[in-house]
Amino acid sequence: MGQLFPRRANLLARLSVYGVFVVAALGVIGLIVYSRSPYPAFAQKSPTQPVPFSHALHVGIQINCQYCHSSVTTSASAGIPPTQTCMTCHSQVRTDSAALAPVRDSYATGKPIEWNRVHDLGDFVYFNHSIHVSKGVGCSTCHGQVSQMNQIRQVAPLTMGWCIDCHRAPEQYLRPQEEIFNTDWEPPADQLAKGAQLVQANHIEVSKLTNCTICHR
């Protein structure tokens, strides 16, 4: 009885089996690399908002970050301004603007505006705005130059590696308290020296900043 398949078919069969394992292994490696990359964090980096709020416009007329994000120095959350804060100005300014109709409706009904979150950390991560601000981390370090953003967008990956880089060498990023809310602040030429001084002055124990319990509680 004749041979149905040539001898090389055995080699092809083995290569096919090995190929399945290689492709599966590459797929797993790809998922691991992807999960550790910035891309998942950027999936919703600039969602459309119910009101076209422009940070560039409001920062440009010298409204301080704390006016809207009033709890940034005292609590874990920076805070979302209530509609009453918006109406402090908009009861007099652009009172007939169609774009601001949701603000007026919210004020009239008492129903809060449902803003879409831009920066969203996992539930397994503990982050406190107030401790970062008090230790010398400025708004633009994480949020970028919002003074140039008409629509807020995420500029930092917010990955574990990105956070750890700062925790290992905070002197690269710290700034004086008077510059915390300066969205256009740039580190000086001697940032490492001045940053090291701020590490000491703010009693930052760098050796403890990479402990798991700092961010995972």
pLDDT in tens, 104-133: 999 999 999 999 999 988 899 999 999 999
Does residue 208 contact residue 202 with C-beta atoms inside 8 Å? no
In this structure, what DSSP letter does residue 205 have?
A: -
Nearest to 99 by CA among 56, 49, 58, 153: 49
Residues of the chain with pLDDT below 50 are 44
Kindly report the length of the chain.
217
Q: Please state the pTM of the whole predicted model.
A: 0.79
Q: How far is the C-alpha of 185 from the C-alpha of 175, rounded, in Å?
A: 9
